[in-house]
A and B are shown apart, each in its own frame.
Chain A
Amino acid sequence: MYAQMVASQPLKAAEEMSDAERAFQARIDAGEKIEPKEWMPEAYRRTLIRQIGQHAHSEIVGQLPEGNWITRAPSLQRKAILLAKVQDEAGHGLYLYSAAETLGISRDELIEMLHSGAMKYSSIFNYPTLTWADIGAVGWLVDGAAIMNQVPLQKCSYGPYARAMVRICKEESFHQRQGFDLMTKMARGTPEQKAFAQDALNRFWYPSLMMFGPSDKDSVHSAQSMAWKVKINTNDELRQKFVDQTAPQAHYLGLTVPDDKLVWNEEKNGYDFSEPDWREFYEVVAGNGPCNKDRLGARVKAWDDGAWFRDGLMAHARKRAAAKIAAE
């Protein structure tokens, strides 16, 4: 769920639509995929650029909190697993930027918008990873929450996005299992390890619930996205599903979810649970989370420091192309 609060459009009624828009909506209703070169309403294209772009940014900013522990991973095997995972996230960023590019925007333009603050990334990555158990919590909870959202998106209406999701979901499920495995080791380890595991759950529980975005009643713009099938479930549906899946896993690990109100509700066949503090969420989205400045600063620094490298390779490629033409 790396796309939160993507501003979409107010839902257009059929009688307000042009003939082309009506035909477009009919294709989506029939379950057809929209492909890059086909006609689409401008608002659909803009919404998707924002959504896929935010998702791509989340993948590359998401490398940072986990990257924070790569050099301190406690065994060779754990280090290899974490490196491969963070590398997969860079790969996801790459597929998603490519998917966004099919909508007529370049990767460089998108990165520029991330750096200027014109585009966001998921609020979750503005929280710090303070102990090794946090790496388990990120895999278990954060990837777990991401999968909840991304599995349905495999069926979204835009072909390149749907196909990127298929590949990403496979890898995310793998990451989530690895995160749970790490958490299991910690939760069943020494008393200190168990304390780290509990502390990680305490800190990541509510930020994970926030990943699904504000409650449906406050999310005024999802109706059009749902009609376009670029959003498949409501925020509250996905949050409920996540809690229902995760609470028993915490119990299995012998850890306590930091919510006194968490209780099974037979009638609704799901858990009752406390809402996260939405004021905190809005502060984090506004740039005031614990790590916003560090995360964005690290991305901007990597980009700026790498400018000479990218320019050097481009200059070399131009010289080589010119030499080739001259030789012909």
Chain B
Amino acid sequence: MTSNSVSSDRFNYALRLGDNALILSHRLSEWCGHGPALEEDIALTNVALDLIGQAQFWLGLAGELEGAGRSADDLAYKRDAGAFRNALLVERPNGDYGHTLMRQYLFDAWHVEVLAALTASSDPRFAEIAAKAAREVAYHVERSGELVAALGDGTPQSHARMQSALDALWAYAGGLFVGDEIDARLAEQGIAPAAGSLRPEWDRATGAVFAQAGLKPPASAFAHKGGHTEALGHLLAEMQFLPRAYPDAQW
């Protein structure tokens, strides 16, 4: 393998991590001012803020690895949907607050693991950002896991909402563990974990929370993977509007 393709693999991998953080942060920011309680509004915005910070780090690294002079902002605001590399799960619309929390928990439980693995990356740039992000995400998963458990247990209505969110998002969560050749090559070099390797621990951790919550994951192992859903184009149209409409402006 040429060193070029290694660098392109790393670029793509940094984009995946950055795009996940960016898109999920954007979704959470849609709730700001509309949360179900003031404390929730504040806490969910904290998570959005952590993720936008992480997006700046990962996209900054991606720009550096690409070496074409693109900044984190260029990558966030000037790519079209087809060039985004985020997991399908994070671009799914918010739905009700239970749906948002379930999406968060399914992602956080994966995120905490992938970051833990990346702190041991053979590429110190990945290891360094992962270590910073892991401290924040340890709190995210604790919070979202507790809320999923509490709401699954709460009232018949809260239980039904959480179960329906789990049913709707399950196949998107599965996509987090379906790897491609980029994952395989990076895993071989100890740069990033193999996508599938994270599944057993994720199953164990989420299984414990679902048991507490009285929720049942769907039996189907089907996983959506690749491309994007219709939701991403709309998200980007809103997010990228100003830099696209006024390309000469500095903000």
Contacts and interface: CB of A to CB of B under 8 A. Distances in A.
A74 B38 contact: no
Given A76-B76, A83-B52, A310 B37 contact: yes
A117 B32 CA distance: 23
A71 B150 contact: no
A306 interface: yes
Contacts of B229: none
Interface in A144-181: none
Interface in A45-76: 60, 63-64, 67, 70-76
A91 to B, nearest CB: 6
B155 interface: yes
- Residue of A93, A311, A316 with highest tally of chain B CB at under 10 A: A316
Interface in A71-116: 71-80, 83-84, 86-87, 90-91, 93-94, 97
Given A75-B251, A90-B33, A80 B154 contact: no
Contacts of A63: 32-33, 41
Nearest to A193: B249
Contacts of A80: 49, 52-53, 56
Interface stretch (B177-185, B186-194, B238-246): B238-246
Given A90-B42, A97-B38, A309-B37, A83 B48 contact: yes
A163 to B, nearest CB: 19
A86 B97 contact: no
Interface size class of B (residues with CB under 8 A): 35 or more
A83 B31 CA distance: 11
Contacts of A270: none
Contact of B38 (A72, A93, A316, A319): A93
Contacts of A310: 36-37
Given A91-B42, A193-B246, A306-B37, A72 B238 contact: yes
B206 interface: no
Nearest to A97: B38
B202 interface: no
B46 interface: yes
A76 to B, nearest CB: 5
Contacts of B97: 305-306, 309
Contacts of B37: 306, 309-310
B158 A74 contact: no
Interface string B211-246: 000000000000000000000000000110111001
Given A75-B77, A76-B55, A94-B42, A309 B29 contact: no
Interface residues of A, number: 48
A87 B45 contact: yes
Contacts of A307: 36
B42 A87 contact: yes
A192 B251 CA distance: 12
B249 A84 contact: no
Interface string B21-38: 010001001101111111
A203 interface: no
Nearest to A93: B38
A141 B34 CA distance: 24
A195 to B, nearest CB: 11
A31 interface: no
B222 to A, nearest CB: 29
Contact of B249 (A70, A192, A316): A192
A33 interface: no
A185 B151 contact: no
Given A76-B55, A308-B161, A86 B154 contact: no
Interface of B: 22, 26, 29-30, 32-42, 45-46, 48-49, 52-53, 55-56, 59, 72-73, 76-77, 96-98, 147, 150-151, 153-155, 157-159, 161, 238-239, 241-243, 246, 248-251
Leading 8 A-B pairs by shortest Cβ distance:
A306-B36, A312-B158, A312-B154, A63-B33, A67-B33, A74-B242, A316-B150, A87-B45
Given A76-B59, A87-B41, A190-B248, 4 more contacts: A71-B26, A73-B242, A77-B73, A185-B251
16 contacts: A63-B32, A63-B41, A71-B26, A73-B242, A75-B243, A76-B59, A80-B49, A80-B56, A84-B45, A90-B33, A91-B42, A132-B251, A302-B35, A302-B36, A313-B147, A316-B150
